């Protein structure tokens, strides 16, 4: 049983820091797309959040391979923190492309994808916080299902966005730019689902 395993609670601190950072990044992306006039400040904020995520990941991995007994499998610790980092990496990727392509105005589909990402990261954060004790495993598993639901929502938005691009009268260059941006946002939500899958595996193995 999970309660009999020696625990180094610092790993749960790392998980929570990473999940908080991911949600903060998603909120910043949503704010950027909904308040585009503040883009320069928000772009820099998102880059700082992405760098912070890298630092949390590296710190966690250094600790896991220097700890004799870990509270859960080393592979699960590695996978969880890396998948969390992937979320903010793809979100930052979308923002980097917005800057690179000199986007003058965000689309409604981009805003919708960012809102969906925020829903996913909020649930992920809640699920990660419950990992510390695993006493409410059923609640954690229900949260994982919610993440899958939000990912399905993001898929629908993405499909609508791509269809609208090809139906529009915009230039081929604009189609290429926005297709790339949409894909990065959708992949960020996909990685939230990956996080949920890792969490689900941890719960099922340790309760």
SS3 71: coil
Q: Tell me what the mean pLDDT of segment 68-89 comes to.
A: 93
Please state the pTM of the whole predicted model. 0.92
Mean pLDDT of the chain: 92
Q: Is the pLDDT of residue 59 over 70?
A: yes
The pLDDT of residue 169: 74
Which sequence spans correspond to the domains of the chain? Answer: 7-206
Q: Is the pLDDT of residue 127 over 80?
A: yes
Q: Is the pLDDT of residue 5 over 70?
A: no
The pLDDT of residue 197: 97
Q: Which residue has the higher pLDDT, 149 or 2?
A: 149
CATH (residue range 7-206): 1.20.58.220
Q: Is the pLDDT of residue 33 over 70?
A: yes
State the Cα–Cα distance between residues 151 and 144, nearest whole angstrom.
11
Cα-trace Rg, the chain: 18
State the Cα–Cα distance between residues 130 and 142, nearest whole angstrom.
12
Give the residue among 26, 92, 10 at the shortest CA–CA distance from 59: 10
Query: What's the N-to-C CA distance of the chain in angstroms?
Result: 6
Q: Tell me what the mean pLDDT of segment 5-26 comes to.
A: 87
Give the residue among 58, 70, 180, 195 at the shortest CA–CA distance from 124: 195
Q: Range with the lowest mean pLDDT among 53-62, 73-82, 125-134, 183-192?
A: 125-134
């Amino acid at each position: 049983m999970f309660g009999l395993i020696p625990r180094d609670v610092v790993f749960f601190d790392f998980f929570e820091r990473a999940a908080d950072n991911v949600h903060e990044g998603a909120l910043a992306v949503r704010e950027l797309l909904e308040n585009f006039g503040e883009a320069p400040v928000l772009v820099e904020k998102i880059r700082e959040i992405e760098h912070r995520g890298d630092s949390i990941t590296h710190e966690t991995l250094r600790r896991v391979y220097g700890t004799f007994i870990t509270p859960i499998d080393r592979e699960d610790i590695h996978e969880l923190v890396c998948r969390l980092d992937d979320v903010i990496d793809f979100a930052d990727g979308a923002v980097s492309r917005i800057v690179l392509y000199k986007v003058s105005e965000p689309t409604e589909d981009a805003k919708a994808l960012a809102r969906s990402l925020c829903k996913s990261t909020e649930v992920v954060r809640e699920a990660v916080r419950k990992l510390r004790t695993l006493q409410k495993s059923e609640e954690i598993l229900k949260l994982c299902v919610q993440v899958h639901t939000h990912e399905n929502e993001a898929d629908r938005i993405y499909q609508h966005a791509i269809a609208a691009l090809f139906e529009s009268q915009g230039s081929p260059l604009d189609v290429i730019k926005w297709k790339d941006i949409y894909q990065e946002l959708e992949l960020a939500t996909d990685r939230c689902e990956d996080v949920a899958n890792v969490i689900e595996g941890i719960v099922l193995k340790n309760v």
